Amino acid sequence: MKFEVTKCICYDTTFEEMKAIMIKYNLRTVDELIKIKPVALNCKLCLPYINKMIATGDTVFEVITN
């Protein structure tokens, strides 16, 4: 079975939403994003995926297992 990661679960915000916010406000980092939309502040499991989204522009990811 293939699992995909598509959002910050703690704040119920998709990576697609985050990407749109980053484009709208010309943001470059997670810290800049957090100032506008709270994400990656609780369990932080989405943090590596947000960084990957920033680097690649992708918004759907396979589960990172390492």
pLDDT tens readout for residues 27-43: 999 999 999 999 999 99
Q: What is the structure's pLDDT at 23?
A: 98
Categorise residue 9: left if φ over 0, alpha if ψ from -120 to 50, beta otherwise.
alpha
Q: How confident is the model at residue 3 (pLDDT cuts 50, 70, 90)?
A: confident
- The residue-averaged pLDDT of 10-33 equals 98
Q: CB-side exposure of 13: number of CA atoms within 13 Å?
A: 21
Q: Using the Cα atoms of residue 15, residue 20, residue 23 and residue 29 in order, give the sign of their dihedral.
A: negative
Does pLDDT of 18 surpass 70? yes
- The residue-averaged pLDDT of 11-37 equals 97
